[in-house]
Structure 1
Amino acid sequence: MTTAMGFIMLAIIVVLLISNKTSIIPVFGIIPIVAALILGYGLKDIQGFMNDGFKSVLNTIILFSFAVMFFSLLSDVGMFDVIVNRVMKYLGNNVLAVLYVACFVTIISHLDGSGATTALVTIPTMLPIFKKMKMRPICIVFVMCLLSGAMNITPWCASMLRITSVTGLDAQELWRYLAPIQAFAIVISLLLMIPIAALEKKNGAGMTDEEFAELKKTLAQPAKVSVSRPVLIFDMALTAFMIVGLLLGWFGTAIGFIVAFGLALIVNFKTTKEQGAKIKQYGGPAINMVMTIIAIGVLVGVMNGTGMIESMTNTILAVLPESLGRHLCFLVSLLVMPINTIIGSDNIYFALTPIMQQIVSTYGVTDLALATSIVVPCAIAAGITLIGPSPYLALGLADCTMGEHLKYSFKWIWLVTILCTVFGAVIGKIPF
């Protein structure tokens, strides 16, 4: 009953998100509670599940609130206009070039292994350029998720730390084993930008000759800023310090953005009345995403508290035919991406992997091969899961919905994971 309810609930959620019939907040905030009531849990039990879920997303709420207000302030005073104008002078009217710049920014910003840092650096930097080029905001979310996923297979990233903690492997050893697949994933992701550019152009991206000529005239003029030059220089220096500090791990994301927003607010707006008005102004875009993340806490808490996640994972394992033996790794690797979207990566690493380890070891499959078949598709798909808060940070920064993300990104990311699995099998890293 619990398993069936879990799959039915998630099916309803996915349909509602993709069809855009309603906002994500009532979807995540109401449907899990109704499901728990049907399973026979009382309101007190459900409240306890929700409290546990809220704890799991609290850091994301704090981070998102101050990060959005910080970048909203910088946009308000005109700092991003200055940056965009300079970048556009070099990029010109080239959609593919913009995509490759976004790929480069994502790769560099993900060197620290943090998905939050990558989103906070890549999307505010690239989104104004995407808008200038009439490219859909969901496209930058897709590019960031795909390239950060390909970079997610380095020894210090969360994906590798999770899989090695379960299998007992050394992260460095595992990375050396699967490095050719990671290189292949990056190359395929970069090549994929060519059809993505064509897709965006078909959707109206890019400018006509007249529009580009008008843009060049605009770029020749200084960008409009509402603060003095010394204050603008301070804003740029503070932003550069934040990016470098996050990438090098000098401070945590939450404390960094709390302090950065406070400093930027004081320097850019002198009176308490003006500061208060700006907090209200910038808080508007943040509150919708904060409510979304709280609703995700409801979903995560209820699914864990009622045992839905565990029972769904066990069901997935039960339907995997052990008779496939060593071919089981290849089959699971092909399916990890959609499974990750439904139950999240932690459940794949900590629930599915140990059981898989026991099954395939009897057929002579090494832990290195098993770990590779799991971590490669799971890491690449880390940015597209229903029950993790991280994707919603990126979506919130780009003002996009999970429904848009699923419709735009799911097929492409799954394609990349399939190609990586096949490549891994061809070179002998994944058993087939």
Structure 2
Amino acid sequence: MLTVWAYGMVIVFMTLIMTRRLSPLTALILVPTVVGGLAGFTGELGGMMVQGITRLAPTGVMLLFAILYFAVMIDAGLFAPFVRRLVTVVHGDPVRVAVGTAVLALLVSLDGDGSTTYMITTAAMLPLYRALGMQPLVLACVTMLASGVMNILPWGGPTARAASALGVDVDAVFIPMVPVMATGIVWTLFVAYQLGMGERRRLATGDTGADGALPAASGPTGPDAAAGAWAGSTGDAAHSGRPDRLYVNALLTVALLVALMTGVLPLPVLFMLAYAVAVLINYPALEDQKALLARHAGNALAVVGLIFAAGVFTGILSGTKMVDAMANSVVTLVPPALGPYLAVVTGVLSIPFTFFISNDAFYFGVLPILAKAGEAYGLTAAEMARASLVGQPVHLLSPLVPSTFLLAGLCGVEFGEHQRFTLRWALLSALVMLLGGVTMLVIPLVGTR
């Protein structure tokens, strides 16, 4: 019966999210509570919830202060000079424009927010695509590929979800994946170069593209608009750029990234310290700090609230032993010849699963089952979590991702056309990252037993 309750909880959870009957935040709290109570664990649910929330507290703190740190850097205009310089350098050559799009999108994606990446990248680059007659599909494709790779950042979402769902430290999942991310970045630049070369050849023949027309610009465009977006040009003094502190902000950000890679302190502590220093440097007045927090509180609360709600879900799933029951049932279904390769299988499955269902449904509903089954073959939870991340480039093409519609609209392309154009490159990106992970021994090809 425990297995039946377990699968019932996962199915109900996934169905409610996929049909948009409940938000992920609400479903993560209510579904396990109701099912756990019906299964006869009413008196024990409170302790399970607290235990799950406590286990995820470091992840929630890390995400909160990571979002706030990059919010300070964006408002202070740290990247505005780079945007201006990039627009100047790439102007006039389709190959440079495409590669420059990738570089800019990779940089903007550091804040972990896909919508921000899409808005700023298209604002900076769309005028160049229009002026040169380049297909905006290339802009949408390159921007999304870059965002898909950088989505693995801990504050981007999937890594935190995977770590939370399996109860492992974010550092153990993310830091070994850095070389894999580097592989994905190189691949993205290569794809951008290839698409740019294709545009150069097409334009040389006088071809204007499939429809022979260029989309109209939407909203403010050009280097000034892009730089202004980065500088937080809202007319509010509390959010205006801080060009006089550019080098200090750059030094602080580099120091933070180095500290993250070397692991000198836990990620939550590093981001707390970095935010405290950054806000004092750029917005020392208390009123300005309050205004900054008010401006970015919505984004921070949405992400952190989801993490703590996940603590309720995973706490009940683990405390009731439902996850063990599901894992045992999965183990019995896995062919013995396939079991040792379950990490690679998880990586492959993450591609269609994260496309057809949401990240929440996959990481909180499916991954724990696969990870528990992997234990029987000597695969650790951290290794399975890493494997589950490689499908992100394809995930962003899913109609379940609202920011994808934003990107298509900003570029002036049809959503279906964008999917058809980008899908093969996104699939290849996911497979390249999976191959990179296996080659670098970050994702084990075979279990230890």
- 1:290 CA drift (Å): 1.6
For residues 90-109 of structure 1, the aligned pairs below 5 Å read 90-91=89-90, 97=99, 100-101=102-103
Query: 291-300 or 250-259, which moves further after superposition?
Result: 250-259
Match of 1:379 in 2: 386
Closer/same/farther in 2, CA of residues 352 and 238 from structure 1, 3 Å limit: same
**Does 1:302 pair with 2:316?**
yes
Q: Deviations over 1:45-70 (max 9, x none)?
A: 11111111101210111111112122
**Kept in 2: contact 1:73–1:282 (CA 8 A):** no
**Does 1:404 pair with 2:401?**
yes
Closer/same/farther in 2, CA of residues 193 and 37 from structure 1, 3 Å limit: farther
**Does 1:73 pair with 2:77?**
no
The one of 250, 258, 269 aligned to 1:244: 258
Amino acid at match of 2:280: I
Match of 2:135 in 1: none
Q: Percent identity?
A: 18
Residue 52 of structure 1 aligns to a residue whose secondary structure is helix
- Structure 1 CA distance for aligned equivalents of residues 430 and 227 of structure 2: 42
The unaligned stretches of length 5 or more in structure 2 are 127-139, 159-170, 199-208, 234-239, 351-361, 405-418, 440-444
Match of 1:17 in 2: 17
- 1:344 CA drift (Å): 6.5
- Structure 1 CA distance for aligned equivalents of residues 38 and 51 of structure 2: 20
Match of 1:255 in 2: 269
For residues 224-243 of structure 1, the aligned pairs below 5 Å read 226-243=240-257
Q: Deviations over 1:309-362 (max 9, x none)?
A: 11111000112244xxx455468843565487466767655x4345346xxxxx
Residue 73 of structure 1 aligns to a residue whose secondary structure is helix
CA RMSD across the alignment: 5.5
**Does 1:334 pair with 2:345?**
yes
For residues 215-226 of structure 1, the aligned pairs below 5 Å read 215=222, 226=240
State TM-score, norm by structure 1: 0.61
Closer/same/farther in 2, CA of residues 131 and 413 from structure 1, 3 Å limit: same
**Does 1:416 pair with 2:422?**
no
State TM-score, norm by structure 2: 0.59
- 1:75 CA drift (Å): 2.0
- Structure 2 CA distance for aligned equivalents of residues 8 and 195 of structure 1: 47
- Structure 1 CA distance for aligned equivalents of residues 16 and 193 of structure 2: 31
- Structure 1 CA distance for aligned equivalents of residues 78 and 181 of structure 2: 36
Residue 8 of structure 2 aligns to a residue whose secondary structure is helix
Amino acid at match of 2:387: I
The one of 114, 138, 149 aligned to 1:143: 149
- 1:78 CA drift (Å): 2.7
- Structure 2 CA distance for aligned equivalents of residues 143 and 307 of structure 1: 34
The one of 273, 295, 299 aligned to 1:285: 299
Closer/same/farther in 2, CA of residues 239 and 34 from structure 1, 3 Å limit: same
Amino acid at match of 1:72: A
Amino acid at match of 2:373: L
- Structure 2 CA distance for aligned equivalents of residues 3 and 375 of structure 1: 24
- 1:404 CA drift (Å): 2.2
Q: Deviations over 1:132-173 (max 9, x none)?
A: 357498765522357999xxxxxxx846999xxxxxxxxxxx
Residue 79 of structure 1 aligns to a residue whose secondary structure is coil
Q: Deviations over 1:71-98 (max 9, x none)?
A: 2222223333333333343455778536
**Kept in 2: contact 1:341–1:384 (CA 8 A):** no
- Structure 2 CA distance for aligned equivalents of residues 13 and 318 of structure 1: 24
- Structure 1 CA distance for aligned equivalents of residues 115 and 264 of structure 2: 21
- 1:306 CA drift (Å): 1.1
Amino acid at match of 1:84: V
**Does 1:352 pair with 2:370?**
no
- Structure 1 CA distance for aligned equivalents of residues 189 and 446 of structure 2: 23
Query: 272-281 or 336-345, which moves further after superposition?
Result: 336-345
Residue 62 of structure 2 aligns to a residue whose secondary structure is helix
Paired positions, count: 354
Match of 1:392 in 2: none
**Kept in 1: contact 2:49–2:316 (CA 8 A):** yes
Query: 411-420 or 229-238, which moves further after superposition?
Result: 411-420
- 1:105 CA drift (Å): 6.8
Closer/same/farther in 2, CA of residues 142 and 185 from structure 1, 3 Å limit: closer
Match of 2:53 in 1: 54
Amino acid at match of 1:355: A
